[in-house]
Amino acid sequence: MSSKGLIKYVFRHFDKKAISAPLVSLSGYGVELAVKSTEYKALDDLALDEKENNGEQSDLNDLEILTPLDKEELEDIGFQAAQHVMNNSPENIISSLIDLSQNFPYKARSLTKIKVSQSFREEILFNQHHWNKELELSEGESALWINGINIGHDLDSIDLFHLFETLRQEHLLANYFKQSGYKREYLNILQTIDLSEDKSNTWALDFRDGDPHWINNLDKDQQYSDWGNSVRLLLQPYFPGMIRPIARNLFSLVCILNPSLPSSRDILKTTFSLYMHQVPLRIGFIFVIDDTPLLDGKSNVEVAIYNIFEFIKEK
């Protein structure tokens, strides 16, 4: 059958040992192994000449598209580009923005034909004023948020690992809402949550009647006698980020803590270090203890530590 041309045999070498051989691991992120072909390629330039002749008309069309825009056409080009992106469906907004950013000179003339709605223009102007006031972002600058989470202002120095981790967490959160019956409506729930670090409505503690236990006095203690005590020293230049040593109780550090809690140890170590290094701060403590009359140092750790502090202070 092979002599008659009914069957063709093809020999392909196959090595069973190569399957069980260990794989070669390449270190790095996004490694690509490219094998360069060293063969010479023969190219028929006659076909290219025909294509060049047929492409003259398309080149003229491209030149018309790439013609420089007039000054009047450039006035609203930014609003028109934003309107072009927002006219797409939510699923295609990102791809449309990428395509417009990479081919802006080619698409600029077509953008001039887009009509910008007045409500969309007012929204952009409001956002520019708002972000300029809140984050000092001017026109043309960029910032990245993911569901209200600020990723960064300098897009060239964003940590990609932090970005991917944020995307992963937001994807898990979206799945939880989807399993609960919510779709895109959960974004409205997230927008009502205040994620800013500056909380203007945080509570404050009035400790003026607490009578802090001061452990030093910059006005009277001998260890600060070598310092000047004139407030005019505040007007003189000093090292940035440091407090000028002045023998006056100008700056105070009041620590409110429960002495029996392990978390208070770090506060005590920090204040002790500030005291030993003679940082110009008046340091005081307000102890949060149980003031039940029946408790004493034998039955309550807080009271015992407080009594020890009072004893050392008197000595």
From CA 280, how far away is CA 98, in angstroms rounded? 55
Provide the phi-psi class of 30: left if phi over 0, else alpha when psi is between -120 and 50, else beta.
left
Q: What are phi and psi of 70, to 5 degrees?
A: -75, 170
266, 257, 267, 271: which is closest to 306 by C-alpha?
257
Q: What percent of the chain has pLDDT over 70?
A: 73
- Asked whether residue 152 carries a pLDDT value surpassing 70, the answer given is yes
Q: Residue 106 — very low, low, confident or very high, per pLDDT cuts 50/70/90?
A: confident
Report the half-sphere exposure of 59 (CA within 13 A, side-chain side): 6
From CA 80, how far away is CA 115, in angstroms rounded? 7
How high is the pLDDT of residue 256?
A: 86
Strand partners of residue 286: 256
- Asked whether residue 164 carries a pLDDT value surpassing 70, the answer given is yes
Counting every residue written for the chain, the total comes to 315
pTM: 0.36
How high is the pLDDT of residue 280?
A: 92
Task: State both tokens at 115.
Answer: 């009509």
- Lowest model confidence (mean pLDDT) among 95-109, 199-213, 296-310: 199-213
From CA 151, how far away is CA 127, in angstroms rounded? 18
Q: Say which residues have a Cβ less than 8 Å from residue 309's Cβ, sequence separation at least 6.
A: 213, 259, 285, 287
> What is the rounded end-to-end Cα distance, in angstroms, of the chain?
115
From CA 120, how far away is CA 203, in angstroms rounded? 39
67, 66, 65, 98: which is closest to 81 by C-alpha?
98
Q: Residue 260 — very low, low, confident or very high, per pLDDT cuts 50/70/90?
A: confident
Q: What is the mean pLDDT of the chain?
A: 78
| Residue of 124 and 31 predicted with greater confidence | 124
Chain center to CA of 84: 28
From CA 57, how far away is CA 46, in angstroms rounded? 19
Dihedral sign, CA of 28, 32, 35, 36? Answer: negative
Strand partners of residue 213: 285
Residues 143, 135 contacting (CB under 8 angstroms) = yes
Burial class (CB in 10 A: 0-12, 13-18, 19+), 196: exposed
- Lowest model confidence (mean pLDDT) among 110-119, 154-163, 256-265: 154-163
Q: What percent of the chain has pLDDT over 90?
A: 12
Neighbours of 97 (CB within 10 A): 16
- Lowest model confidence (mean pLDDT) among 22-26, 230-234, 275-279, 310-314: 22-26
Average pLDDT of the residues in 262-284: 88
From CA 51, how far away is CA 96, in angstroms rounded? 31
86-99: pLDDT as tens digits? 999 888 998 999 99
Q: Residue 224 — very low, low, confident or very high, per pLDDT cuts 50/70/90?
A: very high
How high is the pLDDT of residue 309?
A: 76
How high is the pLDDT of residue 204?
A: 64
How high is the pLDDT of residue 61?
A: 54
How high is the pLDDT of residue 189?
A: 60
Cα angle 154, 155, 158; round to 5: 90
How high is the pLDDT of residue 64?
A: 54
51-88: pLDDT as tens digits? 555 555 555 455 555 677 788 888 888 899 999 999 99
Q: What are phi and psi of 285, to 5 degrees?
A: -125, 140
| Residue of 53 and 190 predicted with greater confidence | 190
- Asked whether residue 278 carries a pLDDT value surpassing 70, the answer given is yes
Residues 279, 310 contacting (CB under 8 angstroms) = no
- Asked whether residue 219 carries a pLDDT value surpassing 90, the answer given is yes
- Asked whether residue 205 carries a pLDDT value surpassing 60, the answer given is yes
- Asked whether residue 138 carries a pLDDT value surpassing 90, the answer given is no
- Asked whether residue 151 carries a pLDDT value surpassing 90, the answer given is no
Helix (H) or strand (E) holding 151: strand 149-152
How high is the pLDDT of residue 66?
A: 63
Strand partners of residue 284: 214, 254
From CA 15, how far away is CA 23, in angstroms rounded? 15
| Residue of 206 and 53 predicted with greater confidence | 206
- Lowest model confidence (mean pLDDT) among 29-33, 148-152, 260-264: 29-33
